[in-house]
Amino acid sequence: MSAMTDNPMVRLGFAGLGTMGSYMAANLARAGYPLTVWNRTPGRAQELLELGAREASTPADLARSSDIIFLCVTDSPQVESILFGPNGVSEGIQSGSLVIDCSTISPTRAREFADKLDAIGVGMLDAPVSGGSEGARLATLTIMVGGELEHFERASAVLSNIGRTISHLGPLGAGQWAKAVNQIILAGTYLGVAEGVTLAIKAGLDVRKVMEALAGGAAGSWVLENRSGRMIDDDYPIGFKIALHRKDLGIGLELARDVGAVLPVSALAASFEDGIIAQGHGDDDNSALARSIRILSGL
């Protein structure tokens, strides 16, 4: 049963039609929700318009047409600008509405934004996602949610149209903390798979067969299954930009300093990513971390 059967009057807004957001918004449109969309750069909404969405001229216009507003943008300044800048969401939103921020930002900034929205009678959830462009396209994302339980319960039916694993993890900011942990774990996993692929290549093995064999054992992971092929081919088409992962790692490392956690593997990954970005590969997929390991190994 679709979510629209449960509540056919919920009007959705979606701001941020990048690699992830465009797929997420499309899945909401296909679910039958009345959908209004907005993107900073024009020309990203055509497919959504064909699915029945309306394009807003400003975030304020988006807010006037929406009961629940999604944001999926790059960083805290963009979230702040869309919510509170000139012609921002706060200028058009009605009391009782709900904002769901699927961006990856610091928990501190998320709480600041939530407090400002609360002052005008608007609820907020921080709901960063994981699963890459594949997960966004297939609506199988993992969604890590922080905020008041009543807001989560209000949003859960809508979220089920874009994600498979949807978890309420605590108060506002908990979702961003969980996303930081996610990105820290991924940093080590990408490095481990890159080193394994490189070792297998240097040993002259049939690397694809080795990776297939390992996928069913203790070394198996999403990264091994979905990204080892890119590392073998040394070709990294976009799934999730390495520049964005570096931004996320920065958040994780800052939070670690705040609470006194030592993350040496993540610090190493961050230094490798800095080098890759400096070489002009910031728009490559995150699996491009393998570039550093391959180069150091003479490949």
List the one residue out of 103, 73, 71, 96 whose CA is nearest residue 150.
96
Q: Would you call 179 a catalytic residue per the annotation?
A: yes
CB atoms within 10 A of CB 142: 17
Residue 231, C-beta contacts closer than 8 angstroms, at least 6 positions apart: 193, 194, 197, 198, 287, 290, 294
Rounded CA separation 224/229 (Å): 8
Report the 3 state secondary structure along 205-221: CCHHHHHHHHHCCCCCC
Q: Answer whether 223's CB lies under 8 Å from 193's CB.
A: yes
> What is the distance, to the nearest Å, from the Cα of residue 266 to the centroid of all Cα atoms in its chain?
19
At 127, which amino acid appears? A
Report the Cα 16 to chain-centroid distance in Å.
11
| 53, containing H or E segment | none
Residue reference for tokens 């593997």: 265
- Cα separation of 293 and 187, whole Å? 13
Here the tokens at position 271 are 């230094």
Exposure string (b/e) for 92-115, b if CB count within 10 Å is 16 or more?
A: bbeeebbbbbbbbbbbebbbbbbe
Please give the positions annotated as active site: 179
